[in-house]
């Protein structure tokens, strides 16, 4: 074996070694080319992924910006919404706070957090629905309030007209509620206060008067309950002192107990009833204006005056 190696021609050895180097070089070039191709492919894939990610992030940022703009616009809508009703104003304040918190949360949330962005979109939709319900409630209440205002104005006008037709009741009608109830109350007209002397003749001389008489007509009214009705009169002298005939008559109206100068009971059938009530047993009369107020337990029927000389 050693003899064979010793006998190898140097030129052949050089050629063999050169051939081996060329073979190794070809393999390295092939490997380098393959690696280069793989590197280019990876670079292209990474570039594609990067571009896709950048595009997606851009879209998410636009989506977040659009959502933020919508929420801020809704916040402005809530701020411009107002009402005259305390309950709705309280609810509006609560909803405004929710919108403000939503604006703050979306500004602090990354656009890539799609789960939270979707959650904020749902909350935005809910708050929009709530605001629409507020608008509907406020419009409905405003419409109702306007209607009630018109009805109240018409009622006051009708009350004023009724008062002009019934002067005896005008001073006692203080509210629309009383006007509604007045339809069923007993009414009177033609109330007069007259003074009589000892000859049972009408006189205005205070020194000759022995009694007074209040006359009136209980008006026809089918709505008024039928049956016995007691009518009370309160006669006052020029100083405003109540005259008392000694009978001790009294009654209660609107929860207040009042003394009466005199009273009389009549049977009311729903038709006109003419009646008179005498005031007797008054020691003396003075010059000036005497006034009479006529009542039932339902309230004041009317007033009358007479001037004595």
- Residues 227 and 255 sit within 8 Å (Cβ to Cβ): no
The tens digit of pLDDT for each residue in 136-149 reads: 888 777 787 778 87
Using a pLDDT cut of 90, give the percent of the chain over it.
Answer: 37
The tens digit of pLDDT for each residue in 2-25 reads: 455 556 677 777 777 777 777 777
Averaged over 187-198, what is the pLDDT?
96
CA angle, 69 as apex, 85 and 99 as ends, to 5°? 35
Averaged over 77-95, what is the pLDDT?
79
Q: What is the pTM of this model?
A: 0.43
When pLDDT is cut at 50, 70 and 90, the band that residue 131 belongs to is confident
When pLDDT is cut at 50, 70 and 90, the band that residue 180 belongs to is very low
- Answer whether residue 202 shows pLDDT above 90: yes
Residue 127 CA to residue 78 CA, distance in Å, equals 10
pLDDT at 56: 52
- Answer whether residue 177 shows pLDDT above 60: no
pLDDT at 78: 81
- Answer whether residue 195 shows pLDDT above 50: yes
- The answer to whether the Cα torsion of 230, 236, 240, 245 is positive or negative is negative
- Answer whether residue 218 shows pLDDT above 70: yes
Residue 209 CA to residue 72 CA, distance in Å, equals 88
The more confidently predicted of residues 222 and 1 is 222
The more confidently predicted of residues 288 and 46 is 288
- Answer whether residue 176 shows pLDDT above 70: no
- Residues 190 and 247 sit within 8 Å (Cβ to Cβ): no
pLDDT at 133: 82
Structural domains of the chain, with CATH: 10-165 (no CATH), 186-308 (2.60.40.10)
Strand partners, 257: 252
Average per-residue pLDDT for the chain: 83
pLDDT at 271: 94
- Answer whether residue 175 shows pLDDT above 60: no
- Residues 280 and 245 sit within 8 Å (Cβ to Cβ): yes
């Amino acid at each position: 074996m050693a003899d064979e190696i010793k006998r190898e021609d140097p030129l052949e050895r050089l050629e063999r070694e050169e051939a081996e180097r060329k073979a190794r070089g070809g393999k390295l070039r092939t490997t380098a080319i393959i690696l280069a191709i793989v590197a280019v492919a990876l670079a292209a894939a990474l570039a594609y992924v990067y571009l896709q990610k950048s595009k997606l992030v851009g879209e998410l940022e636009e989506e977040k910006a659009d959502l933020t703009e919508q929420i801020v616009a809704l916040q402005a809508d809530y701020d411009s919404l107002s009402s005259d009703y305390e309950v709705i104003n309280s609810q509006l304040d609560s909803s405004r706070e929710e919108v403000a918190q939503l604006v703050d949360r979306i500004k602090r949330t990354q656009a890539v957090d799609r789960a939270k962005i979707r959650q904020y979109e749902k909350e935005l939709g809910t708050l929009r629905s709530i605001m629409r319900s507020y608008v509907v409630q406020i419009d409905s209440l405003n419409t109702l309030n306007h209607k009630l205002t018109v009805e109240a104005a018409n009622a006051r006008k009708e009350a004023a007209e009724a008062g002009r037709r019934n002067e005896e009741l005008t001073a006692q009608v203080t509210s629309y509620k009383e006007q509604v109830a007045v339809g069923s109350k007993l009414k009177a007209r033609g109330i007069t206060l007259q003074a009589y002397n000892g000859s049972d003749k009408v006189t205005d001389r205070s020194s000759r008067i022995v009694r007074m008489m209040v006359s009136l007509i209980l008006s026809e009214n089918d709505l008024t309950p039928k049956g016995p009705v007691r009518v009370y009169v309160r006669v006052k002298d020029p100083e405003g002192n109540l005259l008392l005939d000694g009978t001790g008559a009294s009654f209660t109206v609107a929860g207040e107990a009042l003394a009466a100068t005199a009273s009389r009971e009549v049977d009311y059938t729903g038709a006109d009833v003419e009646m008179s009530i005498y005031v007797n047993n008054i020691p003396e009369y003075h010059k000036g204006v005497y006034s009479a107020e006529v009542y039932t337990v339902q309230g004041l029927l009317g007033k009358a005056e007479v001037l004595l000389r």
